Amino acid sequence: MAERDSAPRVAERDSAPGAAELRAYRALLGAQARSQAAYRTSFVVDLVGNVGATVFDVVTVLVIFGVTRELGGFTLRETLVVVGLSACGFATADLLVGNIERLPRYVRTGLFDAVLVRPLGALPQLLLMDLPLRKLSRAVFGLAVLLFALVSAGIDWTPGRVALAVVAPLAAVVFFASVFVLTATVSFYWVDSGELANSVTYGGRDFTSYPVTVYGGWFRALFAYGMGFAFVSYHPALALLGRADPLGLPPWAGWAAPGVAVVAAALAALAWRVGVRHYRSTGS
Amino acid sequence: MGSVTATVAPPTGAHVTPWFRTFGAIAAAGFRRHATYRQAAVAGLFTNTVFGFLRCYIFLAATGAAGTVAGYDRAQLATFVWAGQGLLAVIAIWGWTDLADRIRTGEVAADLLRPVHPVTSYLATDLGRAGFAALARLVPPLVIGPFFFAVYVPRHWATVPLFLLSVLLAVVVCFGCRYLVNATAYWLQDVRGPMILWTLGSGVLAGLYFPLGFLPGPLETVLRYATPFPSILQVPLDVLVEREPMSTGLALVGVQAAWVVALLALCRLVQRRAERRLVVQGG
């Protein structure tokens, strides 16, 4: 890697990455890919094991529909669109930035110091240092569930809905990625936060796997609208299916997904910058 | 150096009291060790609570107009979910790799030199850990749940002691499974594969993702009696919510006890076979 700066500098950068930086990132990614593929059997086991987690999420939905005809006023075919959007969005975000959940360990062991003194952005480095290619299988499966759901739901396709079917999963990826980064920044302040982040990341995945009509009270208000999870899968699914929201939001709420995702990304970026600035090394 | 049989012969009758004293001391150490991770316990409790809300709402939605599903009414489902979230930490279903790590690094040699059988000493530590978890992780969800959902209170006085016994057996069954998964490190070094299979299988087959009653009847019966998985989570919960008559509950606890005996015997057998081939480098 080219040593462009000898002096340690604060990691966050305002300028767009230059060609040299992109080369460095590509080198990091290439090294990751090679090292992970080196142990081929382990890699295959990991690929299979990782798809299993998402498979069981879908199986759970199927089993629940084995004992009931509808869930929160939605049929299996309709719910599968919700599941597909959630699974596709979460699995892809988990592949791209899910490893940020290791940040507490990096902070505790002091590895984060090493990341900060390098002349590259801290966040991209952390993501590329350990990009879990084994999670590829999960993302592909999530996409397959979404495609199957979209085909089998009997959607009355219009140009607008085709566009939404493309934009909504991308917005879901951005939203979940933001949630991963946001929750990880907690460890800058509370190193022993342990599985706390899981309650929002994996909790959000479970929440978005079902129509929000299933939930009730302040819990629904908090997760669905306070944190915005309703716009990840539920409202886009309503817009795709052409159903009115039983809870009374207008039909355009499905189109709010990209906007909500952008807001989430902005919040995550802000929280990350504030968090990095707050970071105190644990010492050597 | 010649080969040594590190595992001592089981103590005979005259040594029973010291044996219990040793077991108790190791268990107490396990309790104290885990009692120091208080912040992690609070964070875990928060996560359990969020998932308690999620699963409770989802399962309750499945009851529909009839108000019952798979032999549970709404209150029983709520108790099933909240007690289940608490039990997760007590049985420590996921994340235990202590033994596998020690096998990989060779530190297990120190365990083999001790005058206590490794299965016994790890079990004692685990029971101490479970004791702390029962206080710090099982009680709070049982208190939080009723604030937000109508929960089921056992009707029969004998249910509570039977539930506690069932939880104790569940901890040991879960420990036995985890020990076996970890012990594959003696042969494989890298336990990632078995660990992934265990993590995936245990969550679904133990009744965490959905009560096994949601499955077709014969499938649930096979899982209950022919695999140890329901014994680590579903059985204590079914006992607590009195899903079936007391006699069935007693029978299920009996099945748990049988799994305890079978799994601990298997752990010792696997341990003995492993010690014969274990090579630890260094001096």
Q: Quick: pLDDT tens for A29-75.
A: 888 788 877 777 777 887 888 888 889 889 999 999 999 989 989 99
Q: So what's the pLDDT on residue B83?
A: 96
Q: Which of A95, A99, A101, A129 is nearest to A114 (CA)?
A: A129
Q: So what's the pLDDT on residue A262?
A: 96
Q: Could B214 and A67 be called an inter-chain contact, meaning their C-beta atoms sit closer than 8 Å?
A: yes
Q: Which residues of B touch A60 (CB under 8 A)?
A: 204, 209-210
Span B133-139, average pLDDT: 93
The answer to the question of residue A180 being in a domain is: yes
Residue A65 · residue A79 · CB < 8 Å: yes
Q: Which residue of B has its CA nearest to A203?
A: B51
Q: Label residue B158 by pLDDT band (50, 70, 90).
A: very high
Q: So what's the pLDDT on residue B8?
A: 56
Q: Is the pLDDT of residue A284 over 60?
A: no
Question: Cα–Cα distances in Å, from A134 out to A32, A89, A92, B100?
Answer: 11, 17, 12, 22
Compute the CA torsion angle A190, A191, A193, A197 (nearest 10 deg). 90
Of A63, A199, A215, Cβ closest to residue B57: A215
Q: So what's the pLDDT on residue B246?
A: 92
Q: So what's the pLDDT on residue A85?
A: 95
Task: Report the residue of A43, A46, A58, A67 to disrupt the B interface, i.e. the one with the largest count of B CBs within 10 Å.
Answer: A67
The answer to the question of residue A59 being in a domain is: yes
Q: Is B226 on the interface with A (CB under 8 A)?
A: no
The answer to the question of residue A80 being in a domain is: yes
Radius of gyration of chain B from its Cα atoms, rounded to whole angstroms = 20
Span B54-80, average pLDDT: 90
Q: Take residue B134 and report the two structure tokens written for it.
A: 């029962």
Q: So what's the pLDDT on residue B183?
A: 94
Q: Is A216 on the interface with B (CB under 8 A)?
A: yes
**Alpha-carbon gap, residue B26 to A173, rounded angstroms:** 47
Q: So what's the pLDDT on residue A6?
A: 41
| A138-155 pLDDT, tens digit each | 999 999 999 999 999 989
| A117-129 pLDDT, tens digit each | 888 888 888 888 7
The answer to the question of residue A6 being in a domain is: no
Least confident of A42-46, A76-80, A232-236, B233-237: A42-46
Q: Could B192 and A52 be called an inter-chain contact, meaning their C-beta atoms sit closer than 8 Å?
A: no
Number of Cβ pairs < 8 A linking chain A and chain B: 102
Residue A236 · residue A258 · CB < 8 Å: no
Of B47, B61, B192, Cβ closest to residue A198: B47
| B175-229 pLDDT, tens digit each | 999 999 999 999 888 888 888 889 888 989 999 999 999 999 899 999 999 999 9
Q: Which residues of B touch A203 (CB under 8 A)?
A: 47, 50-51, 54
Q: Which residues of B touch A70 (CB under 8 A)?
A: 64
Q: Label residue B9 by pLDDT band (50, 70, 90).
A: low
The answer to the question of residue A120 being in a domain is: yes
- Residues 20-49 of chain B whose Cβ lies under 8 A from any Cβ of chain A: 37, 39-40, 43-44, 46-47, 49
**Alpha-carbon gap, residue B114 to A94, rounded angstroms:** 43
Q: Could B209 and A60 be called an inter-chain contact, meaning their C-beta atoms sit closer than 8 Å?
A: yes
Q: Could B40 and A194 be called an inter-chain contact, meaning their C-beta atoms sit closer than 8 Å?
A: yes
Residue B51 · residue A206 · CB < 8 Å: yes
Q: Which residues of A touch B59 (CB under 8 A)?
A: 64
Nearest CA-CA distance, residue B163 and chain A, Å: 26
Q: So what's the pLDDT on residue B226?
A: 92
Q: Which residues of A touch B69 (CB under 8 A)?
A: 67-68
Q: So what's the pLDDT on residue B5?
A: 54
CA-angle at A131, arms to A126 and A137, nearest 5°:
155
Q: So what's the pLDDT on residue A260?
A: 95
Nearest CA-CA distance, residue A208 and chain B, Å: 10
Q: So what's the pLDDT on residue A8?
A: 43
Q: So what's the pLDDT on residue B6?
A: 55
**Alpha-carbon gap, residue B72 to A68, rounded angstroms:** 13
What does the domain layout of chain B look like in residue ranges?
A: 14-277
Q: How many domains is chain A partitioned into structurally?
A: 1
Q: Is the pLDDT of residue A254 over 50?
A: yes
Nearest CA-CA distance, residue A7 and chain B, Å: 37
Q: So what's the pLDDT on residue A16?
A: 56
Q: Which residues of A touch B50 (CB under 8 A)?
A: 199-200, 203
Q: Label residue B129 by pLDDT band (50, 70, 90).
A: very high
Residue A40 belongs to domain spanning: 19-278
Structure-model confidence comparison of residues B10 and A105, the more confident one: A105
Report chain A's mean pLDDT, rounded to a whole number: 86
Q: So what's the pLDDT on residue B1?
A: 41
Q: So what's the pLDDT on residue A120?
A: 81
Q: Which of A32, A42, A31, A41 is nearest to A95 (CA)?
A: A32
The answer to the question of residue A10 being in a domain is: no
Q: Label residue B7 by pLDDT band (50, 70, 90).
A: low
Span A228-246, average pLDDT: 93
Q: Is A247 on the interface with B (CB under 8 A)?
A: no
Least confident of A34-48, A179-193, B18-32, B148-162: A34-48
Q: Is the pLDDT of residue A5 over 50?
A: no
| B216-261 pLDDT, tens digit each | 989 999 999 999 999 999 999 999 999 999 999 999 999 999 999 9
